Structure 1
Amino acid sequence: MLVAAMATDYDQLFVKAALAKGVLPPEGAHEALERSRKDGDAGAWLLKKGLLTKHLVSVLADEVNRSQMPKVIGNYRVVDKLGHGGMGSVFKAVQLSLQREVALKVMAGRLARNQHWIDRFLAEARAMAAINHPHVLTCFDAGQDKGKLYLAMELMQGGDLVRLVKSRGGRLPVGEALRIVRDCAWGLEAIGRAGLIHRDIKPGNIFLDLAGAAKLGDLGLACFAEAAAEDGTSGGQPLGTPAFMSPEQADADDEVDIRTDIYALGATLYALLTGHPPYEGKNSFAVIARVLQDPVPDARTHTPDLPPAVCALIARAMAKRREDRPATPADLKQLIETTAAALGIALVTPAAPDLAAPSDPPPEENDDPYLSQPSFVAVKAGGSTEPLLDQDSLDLLSESSVQASDTSTPEIAAPDDTTPDGDVAVEGKVRRIGGRPSRPAARAGATMTPVSELPDKPAWIPDWASAWGIDQLDNGAAWIDVSVGSVVQRFRLIRPGTFTMGSPPDEIERQPDETQHQVSFSHPLWMADTPVTQAWWNAVSATQGGLFGRLSHAVRGRHKTRFVGDERPVEQVSWHDCQELCVRLGRVVPGLRARLPTESEWEYAARAGSTTPFSGADRPDDLGWCSLNAVGVSHPVKRKRANAWGLYDLHGNVWEWCDDCYGEYPVVPLRNPVQRHGIYRVCRGGSYVDDPHACRSARRSRIAPDISRPFVGVRLVVEVTIARR
């Protein structure tokens, strides 16, 4: 409704909390509640008037949100609060029976006692249940529990269009805006076929999945077209959002039909391209007056470089006379597509990520874009050149299959036989994974010419690497170093390939969630050869943010961990802490875009071509630290043998966070998989307190992303990119 009859439960609790903390005088509280009855959001009004600081508003809002958040409603466990409005609150929740994440809309208690609002809430549930379309939010369930009315809907992880526009600096590119509105018109077709009118289409009611596909939501004002024709809107008072209302809807006395939603989509397109609603005013009544009286605004007032054809499309969709608008959503959809085609814009709806979708077969080796890069070249004494690693014997960036028969690891010299850079040297024959011819192995302690000494740096070596080279390990063994101050982290090249993820049925201590399935990777990546050490974590924290960041680090001190030591892995970090580390690292090392490995990337690298429980072994003793040898403490990294691809401490020492949410494995082959839906995040590798079976390559664990536990750390990866030189 345009005017709230009373302050919302949220605003009353907000003002009450401010009074209880003594940060708001009683007279300010009274005025805030009066204002919230008209405009809503007492906190925003108090901030605007200078009665509260932004920090206090944030603290009080968090307190109110926590106080309003129930633990369980019906068959749903509440996880987090997503938002609130005049009719109630929306929570992120888990459906207990199916372990499915949902958006749970719960009606405000004061409204749940009013039959008029109960009927409207249930009408929304019926409206959503009448539609099944990829561009309309899906309704799963509706019910009542202990006086609470709730509606369970599809959870959209990408947020709404308001959030998207803000993240893009206030407006969207023409192609993206046209595609979103075209998809909404497609969804509106389904709404129309169900005999419904939405009546509240606007950027805040259009939601995005993780791939960016748009869906119409919030059908709280939706009504059946026949009822609208018989009853008008709502007793002479218009319902909806004034800036996006059609003139007939704003008039409140006229009949409305699906063309009022077509108008709203035109207004939404205007807002996406300009960052402003079509009509603005001091209050709702002023906006309605402009909707009824002013001509359709020209979007070029805000965005001068918009194509005239797009402005004409907006003007037609927002025509004052509904007879002048596209007659149906299908007509609007066709008009958008025709306009885009005339401008040479392809409207491609992104596919939603689907973990269970069958993957494409691996590309042919000659189709890999990385194969066209120059091979390594070494300079001879006489000045001529020869391939250091020729194309036939070693394509570092080519795709390979991990063969089940190729499970052994190269022999490694004793720990005191190290190369000058501190890595363990390799003895004996070094074989390639994937069946290509082997290159001759170097003598123990020998090294090959580092790439950094070559006349031209390969295009796939990033500019932010402080050093790079190749040594005598399997999988090509190219490496780069990343320096933060005096602390260096080495990353190893992991080539693309295919492997069997999970464990065979006869593996000892196998768990039910380790179903075997084939996984393929299409691109190479750099993986840190150790978990993040305390020295590196603290160096990143101390360096980022300039003088202020260094002072802040000095005040906070080093990261608090259970067993202190620069070369020990960092632990007691949450998944969110690790995401922040990646952001900070990107500020410290410009151009570096680190992330957590996906669960499949982690296992692929841990196996390094092996099919045994541990990388080329049946026990983890010589590969890592577990309850057999760790005596209950973490240990400095690189004190145990590396696997065949030069990676240390993958079996034990600390569990390592992965990017994925925890979920059941599919049984179909996958390509570049990542699980984006779920409550918990995956951890891999086991730790110094775990039995050996917990350190197996296939073993999985799950932890809530905001939990920081002892014996849980992280390892980073960076995607390989080809520099344009």
Structure 2
Amino acid sequence: MSDPRQPPPASGRPPSNGQPAAVTVLEVAPITVAEEAGRQTAVTMAEDFGRNTSNTIAVDPAQQPDFKPPPIFRAPAEPPADLGGFRLGKKLGAGGMGAVYAAVQPGTGTTVALKVLKPDLAAVGSEFTSRFEREASAMQEVDHPNVVRLLGSGEDRGWLWMALEYMPDGDLASYLKRRGQLMEKDAIAYALRCGRGLAAVHAMGLIHRDFKPENVFLDLGRGKPGAEPSVKVGDLGLARHSSGDDRFTMTGTACGTPVYMAPEQIRGESDLDARVDVYALGATLFKLTTGQDPFRGATVFMLTNAVLKEPVPDPRKFNPIISAGLVAAILKAMAKERKDRYRDVGEMVTDLERLSAGKIMTNTAANTASPASMIFNEVAGQAATKASARETVAHEGDGWLSGLHGMGPVLRMAIPAVLICLAMTVLMWSMTGDDHDPAHSVKPAPTGPVAQVLADRWGHVLRLPVLGRELAFRWCPPGRMVRGSTAGPAWEKPQPVVLSQGFWMLDTEVSRGLWSTVMNEPPPAPVDAALPVGGLSREQAMGFCDKFGFSARLPSEAEFEYAARAGRSDRAGDERPAACSDETVLAVWSKLAPATDALMPAAVAEILAGRADLHSRVVGSSLPNAWGLCDLLGNQQEWCLDAWDAKSPFDQTEATDPVSEAGDFAVVRGGSWVHPAERCLPQARFAQPADAINEWTGFRFLIPGGTEPVVPKGLSATPHSSPPGPPRP
């Protein structure tokens, strides 16, 4: 009989060997659902076979006495440390097919994302290998700023590998998880970049077939002064030529992720075209603006049934401030019948570009111009067409605003103005009422963050009003240092470092009060508001930074140590670090054998778990260092951008603006109230998992600058900002 692991004939007919005919359900692609490594996904309607790698399911195996089940494969050992000419570092993700690693090419120092396929899967048959090689071939064909570049591929000791452009800020799904949902203008900006990338894929005759936020990768420009955020489409593992000539799946099968799959894709139709990617882009835009999936289901069957039969919900059900124009674009892209969608991604991109510019969309029936913009055009002598006005009136969701088109321009300008005045009066009354809770008094900022640079005894300070608070950022000028120390552990071996750009660092750790204000959470008790926030992962800290929208980010460990030293080689003026003073805890530290890595000793963590009396001090308790920064040493150790293996030392050659990307742990710096004072030093390096949550880890953030202490790009300077100059005595 035929090997049950082999795919059926290309015609889709069952083998004529006298055995029961194989019943084709939805294809179970040979990859895990929502795989984190390659992020290739596949779905099956047969829930009992969700992880099966066979293309068909026999009706009655008992009637086939010579039937032998496929062997159970076990994951092989980790790939060698050097693979395909690259040195492997931190594992970025892993799944059933293999893994993705941050890797470095020793000769050039280039960091890549190295995707590898397990050797045992390549040995099963050609299907796993075909998908892997097809992805490499597809990515090699496409060269576009919004598509992840393929840098090379090959085989090494049984491991198939491909080197991809490294995107340090992960995927759009993880970014969205931190943010919850995006503002409309930001969501459109991401969708436009994705749309252009998909258009480039389509121009090569390819269809992506698995477009979703998990397959969009980001480089937000952190640590790269002046760099623009980069958004790139990746993971073309399910891509195929629109002609279908390279199709090895049979009619009646489906590959993809259900919530982003077009109905015809779920039905397994053979004549798929680029409009399946139009649908997926619309579903992604729905997710970005609402934070919700357009369809839900307790099982795969229920979810796919919803996609096939239920109407797309109005996104305003989850986010009422989405414009009618964007709703129209999403609903058109996600139409059940492909003939009702945009004809191609280019049409959708054109509409989104016009929408973001406040113009009328040309490929969607809805008139997307706001009433205010239409009034302005009419007063300026550019009357809107009757057709576009009728479309606005007819479009569901515009409501009573559509009635304004029947009035004169002056009256139509007056009504919104009166309503705005009423709304502002109510807002001011609610903020100044006697029964208003002061903890929630968040005064709205002007049209954008307005900052001023002043000089004082410590140098230059950037004062920035944020949600009713004024934050102070201290200027750290560009310069050189030798980080590390010869007196500490081996992993702190000295290295010369150049920081080519200055930066503005928050003068204290982020407090609980500031966290609750920015993240819109219930305020802490007044006695706790000034304590540093703790109990959060590095991703949560990065999500806080993302809220600011002007390149705010965590510091690299080089920037942290540079700021802690403040131009000096000792403890930089911070004479009273808030280190551990508890005798019981210090006794445990003193009995520990010399450490072999920089992780928190388990014996210390166990004691701290039962000691509620130990905690940090309020922010700003320590003396400021020479640059006016407080609490960098002791109090709470602080998250940094870098990855690390918790034991490797720095390279000995001089580094410029270094940020480590190799290792399974995240770097934390400065020591804390659980560390002895001799470890609360500028050069002290610590490590912990990036998802670790404990009360002795907090963070502060910085705003990248240039070579002079001026208001950073993206912020508005007040007329009273002091020009850069020597500090005042």
Q: TM-score, normalised by structure 2?
A: 0.48
Which structure carries more relative contact order (alpha carbon 8 Å, separation 6+)?
A: 2
Q: TM-score, normalised by structure 1?
A: 0.49
